[in-house]
Amino acid sequence: MPTVWWAERNQCESILDIVGMCGTGPLVAIALCLLIAGVLANQQRTFRFHPNSIRYNVNNNRPIIGILSQEPSKSIASVSPESVSYIAASYVKWLEGQGARVVPIKVNQPDSYYKTVFDSINGRLLIPGGGASLVSSGYGKAGSILYDLAIEANNNGDFFPVWGTCLGFELLLYLSAGRKNFLTPCNSYNRAASLKFISDASVSRLYQRAPNDVLKTLSKEKSTSNFHHWCMTKENLTASSLDNFYRPLATSTDDDGLEFVATIEAIDYPFWGVQFHPEKNVYEWGANLTSVPHWPSAIKAGQYFAEFFVNQARKSQHRFASRQEEATYLIYNYAPLYTANVSSSFLQSYFFD
């Protein structure tokens, strides 16, 4: 498995361009066309176009993504003491930058609320729970209800994508393992890292069509932002049988050289998770976040993940009953507050009752 698998793909795409010319070019020998087409057919075998590929059915240009809110830490709560939950604004901006709008999902609501929201949004972003427990918090409970709804919908052919970032990644692993934890403690807090792609990355929906410069940045530069104390190892992904559900696509290493899974893609579901924080590169500037990669190629790489996920959400046909109802759920009903003075992690946050 070459570490620069996209270079091979580049070759394929330039051949695609030449074949395109065959149709219109005036004097290209038929024999040459056939020869190139033969080479192309051969090369294409290395690229499996999964039915979930972004090539298909991209036809909802009003994608709305739900973000599950979470109970705030004491310091964040001090900015809005009456609020029950919050969402860091960086996640919202990360999606908005790709043409999506956001619906905040509240915690401690009746099941009927989660069902209504689920039926109306086109995808869901799972984000870090901060101090929230995966099991007992409102965040963990709502996350579990919504996970079951997403599994059921996709089983019934109702395409519904889910993305997990950092603790959201850990929550996906926990839920998919039948609510069991297979993480191991590690040291990867305030750490910029590169990705080591695993061979499945070249046929994954997530990385298969990523621009070459993005793949190069991710693999050659310390362009991913890590803030986690727990890691999933490749060994445990196998030991837990989670590898029947998720393919690992890339790993990174922690401060002690431990190799951990950095990206997962569900084999039969449109679910993805990253252990790192693609949104921090462009949107978080806390004084203590000294490791966050803010250089241009790292910004572009971080935004690629949002572009990919929002384009997946465009394939979902869920919608609110009316534009009026939609308006009452959108995050524009709330204004973010400055939280950098009380939290090293989040510049701005939205608060909910």
Ligand X SMILES: *[C@@H]1O[C@H](CO)[C@@H](O)[C@H](O)[C@H]1NC(C)=O
In this chain, which of 288, 317, 328, 333 binds ligand X, going by CB under 6 A?
288
Size of residue set near ligand X by CB under 6 A: 12
In this chain, which of 235, 255, 268, 325 binds ligand X, going by CB under 6 A?
235
CA dihedral of 313, 182, 86, 78, whole degrees rounded to 10: -160
Binding-site string for ligand X from residue 56 to residue 85, where x marks contact by CB under 6 A and - marks none? -----------------------x------
Q: Which stretch binds ligand X (CB under 6 A): 51-59, 88-96, 277-285, 341-349?
A: 341-349
In this chain, which of 163, 182, 305, 329 binds ligand X, going by CB under 6 A?
182
Q: Which is nearer to ligand X, 154 or 188 (CB)?
A: 188
- Asked if residue 337 binds ligand X (CB under 6 A), the reply is yes
Q: Which is nearer to ligand X, 79 or 153 (CB)?
A: 79
- One-letter-per-residue 3-state SS of 211-225: CHHHHHHHHHCCCEE
- 148: Cα within 13 Å, side-chain hemisphere: 10
- One-letter-per-residue 3-state SS of 144-198: HHHHHHHHHHHHCCCCCCEEEECHHHHHHHHHHCCCCCCCEEEEEEEEEECCEEC
Of the residues 166, 186, 231, 318, which is catalytic?
166
Cβ pair 342, 115 in contact under 8 A: no
Cβ pair 132, 142 in contact under 8 A: no
Q: Which is nearer to ligand X, 18 or 342 (CB)?
A: 342
Of the residues 186, 228, 277, 318, which is catalytic?
277
Q: Which stretch binds ligand X (CB under 6 A): 49-57, 132-140, 326-334, 339-347?
A: 339-347
Q: Which is nearer to ligand X, 48 or 179 (CB)?
A: 179
Q: Which stretch binds ligand X (CB under 6 A): 52-60, 86-94, 229-237, 328-336?
A: 229-237
**φ, ψ (nearest 5 deg) of residue 61:** -100, 20
In 321-339, which positions are buried (b, 16+ CB within 10 angstroms) versus exposed (e)? eeeeebeebebeebebbeb
Q: Which is nearer to ligand X, 86 or 304 (CB)?
A: 86
In this chain, which of 49, 189, 285, 338 binds ligand X, going by CB under 6 A?
338
166 is catalytic: yes
Strand partners, 192: 225
CB of 278 to ligand X, least distance (A): 22
Q: Which is nearer to ligand X, 110 or 185 (CB)?
A: 185
Dihedral over Cα of 68, 72, 77, 82: its sign: positive
**φ, ψ (nearest 5 deg) of residue 80:** -150, 75
In 293-313, which positions are buried (b, 16+ CB within 10 angstroms) versus exposed (e)? beeebbbbbbbbbbbbbbbbb
Tell me the two tokens of residue 136.
């007992």
In this chain, which of 154, 236, 252, 253 binds ligand X, going by CB under 6 A?
236
- Asked if residue 233 binds ligand X (CB under 6 A), the reply is yes
- Asked if residue 189 binds ligand X (CB under 6 A), the reply is no
CB of 184 to ligand X, least distance (A): 3
DSSP string, 221-288: S--EEEEEEEE--HHHHHHTTGGGTEEEEEEEE-TT--EEEEEEEESSSSEEEESS-TTHHHH---TT
277 is catalytic: yes
- Asked if residue 184 binds ligand X (CB under 6 A), the reply is yes
Q: Which is nearer to ligand X, 44 or 184 (CB)?
A: 184
- Asked if residue 342 binds ligand X (CB under 6 A), the reply is yes
Distances from the Cα of 30 to the Cα of 18, 33, 35, 40, angstroms: 13, 5, 9, 15
CB of 247 to ligand X, least distance (A): 18
CB of 218 to ligand X, least distance (A): 23
> Where does this chain bind ligand X (CB under 6 A)?
79, 182, 184, 233, 235-236, 288, 337-338, 341-342, 344
Residues with active-site annotation: 166, 277
